[in-house]
Every structure is written in C-alpha cells, then in structure tokens.
Amino acid sequence: MSVSDPLVSAARAAREHAVADFSRFRVGAALETAGGAIVTGCNVENATYGLTICAERVAMFKALSEGHRSFRRVAVVADTEAPTPPCGACRQILWEFAGDIEVILANLDRVTARLALAALLPHPFDSRLLGK
C-alpha cells in the first residue's frame, strides 16, 4: 500500500463505517477545512435507495453542522481500480459549499486522480444565477 496523506487515510477509515447492505459499494469521504480539520463521512443506504446519501454529502453536512464554512479539498475512496468521482448531487453540494476545491480520488491502495471540482462540474448552478 502506498503512503498517502492524512486526508486520504481518513477517507479510507470512514469507508469502513459505510452502511451499504444492498449495493455492497462502500465509499468514504474526508473534507479538509481551511483551518486544517478533517471531517469524514460514509455512504448510508436504505432499502428504497432513493433515500440513500453519499459519503461526500454526509461529510459536507456534518462539517457544516459543526460550524465549518471554508474548505480546501476533499478525498473520496472506493474499492475500484478506476477513479470513482462524486455523483452529480454531490458535485453540486460540494460546489455550493466549498467552491472549486481539489478533489482527490483514491482506492484502497493508491490515489487514482487529483483534479479541481470545476473539471467535474464545468457549468455549475449557484447563487450567481439567482441574481444575488
């Protein structure tokens, strides 16, 4: 296993807490705040799937509920060879609350990609479009 930074390690550890009884697709995420704190999340499924929440949104909502408002980067870990990027809903939430942060995609052994959120969400909907 390659050495990774603490953010990726935290996402890997968070993945272990995933509740993925239906898909068996466990995902962990970790957000780094501007102050250097790391806030984690894991995916939580239920039988309807429609009420399932992804690891990235769990981490963001947890961070916001704890008072964090500024973020540097996010790491997402899944047990896949190819990079597993955040879904569309997670991209939107990350954009609205964190802006164009670095997104680190990793599997259980290594980092598979590093990119800016704008590369994943090139035409975001945000408050600029609301005339605010």
Distance spanning both ends of the chain, measured CA to CA: 47
3-state secondary structure of 39: strand
CB 30 within 8 A of CB 98: no
Name the catalytic one among 16, 32, 45, 56.
56
| Beta-sheet strand order (sheet of 27-33) | 38-42, 27-33, 71-78, 102-106, 111-116
3-state secondary structure of 19: strand
Is 66 annotated as catalytic? no
Residue 36 Cα distances to 30, 39, 66, 80, angstroms: 12, 10, 14, 28
Strand partners, 115: 103
Q: Name the residues annotated as catalytic.
A: 56
